[in-house]
Structure 1
Amino acid sequence: MDDNQRSLLSLIVPVFNEEESIAPFLEIIDKELSTLDLELEVLFVDDGSTDRTFEKIVLAAEKDQRVKYLKLSRNFGKEAAMTAGIDHACGDAVVPMDVDLQDPPALIHEFVRYWREGYDTVYGMRASRKEDGRRKRASAGMFYRVFNRLSHTTIPPNAGDYRLISRRVIDIIKNMPERNRFMKGIFAWPGFSSIGVEYDRPARHAGETKWNYWKLWNFALDGLTSFSTWPLRVWSYVGGVIALLSLIYMVFIILRTLVLGVDWPGYASLMSAVLFFGSIQLISIGVLGEYIGRLYIESKKRPVYIVEKSTSKKGV
Structure 2
Amino acid sequence: MEKTELSIATILHNEEANVVELHRRLSTVLKTLNKTHEIILVDDGSTDRTLDKLKTLRQKDRSIKIISLSRNFGIEAAATAALDHTSGEMVVLMDGDLQDAPEFIPSLLNKIGQGYDVVYAQHPKRKDTLVKQALFGSFYRLMDKLADYKFPVDVGHFSVMRRPVVDVLTQMTERNRFIAGLRAWVGFKQTGILYEKQARFAGKPPQTFKKLLKMGFDALFSFSYIPLRVATLMGLLVAIGTIIVIINVLYQKFVVNTAIIGWAGPMLSILIIGGVQLFILGIIGEYLARIYDEVKRRPYYIVSEKIGF
Alignment TM-score, normalising by the size of structure 2 = 0.95
- 1:161-310 aligned at under 5 Å gives the runs 161-310=157-306
| SS of match in other structure, 2:171 | coil
Sequence identity (%): 38
What is the aligned partner in structure 2 of residue 41 from structure 1? 38
Partner of 1:12: 9
Number of aligned positions between the proteins: 308
CA drift of 1:127 comes to: 4.5
- How many angstroms apart in 2 are the aligned matches of 1:157 and 1:16? 25
Map 1:33-112 onto structure 2 (within 5 A): 33-112=30-109
Cα contact 1:6–1:37 (8 A) shared by 2: no
Question: Runs (4+) of structure 1 moved beyond 4 Å?
Answer: none
1:6 deviates by 7.8
Counterpart-to-counterpart distance in 1, 2:203 and 2:289: 34
Establish whether residue 117 from structure 1 lines up as the match of residue 111 from structure 2.
no
Instruction: Name structure 2 gaps, 5 residues minimum.
Output: none
Deviations 1:185-217 (A, max 9, x none): 111111111111112222111111112322222
1:265 to 1:96, Cα distance in 2 relative to 1, 3 A: farther
The superposition leaves residues 76-129 of structure 1 with CA deviations (integer Å, 9 ceiling, x where unpaired) of: 111001101111111111111122211111111111112222211010011523
| Larger CA deviation: 28-37 vs 192-201 | 28-37
CA distance in 2 between partners of 1:177 and 1:51 (Å): 30
Measure how far apart 1:132 and its partner are: 2.3
**Partner Cα separation in structure 1 for residue 259 and residue 45 of structure 2:** 68
1:155 Cα offset (Å)? 2.3
CA contact (8 A) 2:165 2:186 kept: yes
Contact 2:121 2:158 in 1 (8 A): yes
Give the AA of the match of 1:167.
R
1:21 corresponds to: 18
- In structure 1, the residue corresponding to 2:255 is in which secondary structure? helix
Shift of residue 28 of structure 1? 1.0
Which of 266-275 and 17-26 deviates more? Answer: 266-275
Q: Is the contact between residue 121 and residue 164 of structure 1 (CA under 8 Å) also seen in structure 2?
A: yes
RMSD: 1.6
Offset at residue 135 of structure 1 (A): 2.1
Query: Which moves more between the two structures, 255-264 or 197-206?
Result: 255-264
Change beyond 3 A, Cα 1:153–1:167: same
Determine the C-alpha separation between the residues in 2 that align with 1:109 and 1:190: 24
Aligned to 1:135: 131
* In 2, Cα distance between equivalents of 1:207 and 1:134: 20
- Offset of residue 282 of structure 1: 0.8
Kept after mapping to 2: 8 A contact 1:124/1:199: yes
Q: Is the 8 A contact 1:153 1:185 kept in 2?
A: no
Specify the code of the residue in structure 2 equivalent to 1:164. V
**Relative to structure 2, which stretch is displaced further, 80-89 or 93-102?**
93-102
Do the aligned partners of 2:10 and 2:93 also contact (CA within 8 Å) in 1? yes
2-structure distance, mates of 1:52, 1:245: 61
1:260 to partner: Cα distance: 3.0
1:29–1:120 CA distance, 2 compared to 1 (3 A): same
Letter in 2 for 1:84: A
- Conserved 8 A contact 1:88-1:312: no
Q: Determine helix, strand or coil for the equivalent of 2:137.
A: helix
Name structure 1 gaps, 5 residues minimum: none
Pairwise CA distance, 1:34: 1.6
Question: How far apart, in 2, do the equivalents of 1:101 and 1:259 lie?
Answer: 74
Report the Cα offset of residue 258 of structure 1: 2.0
* Partners of 1:33 and 1:106 within 8 A in 2: no
Structure 1 residues 142 and 96, CA, compared in 2 at 3 Å: closer, same or farther? same
Q: Is it true that 1:155 corresponds to 2:151 in the alignment?
A: yes
Distance 1:6 1:303 in 2: 30
- Compute the TM-score of the two structures, normalised by the length of structure 1: 0.93
Aligned to 1:31: 28
Aligned partner of residue 45 in structure 1, secondary structure = strand
Cα displacement (A) at 1:223: 0.1
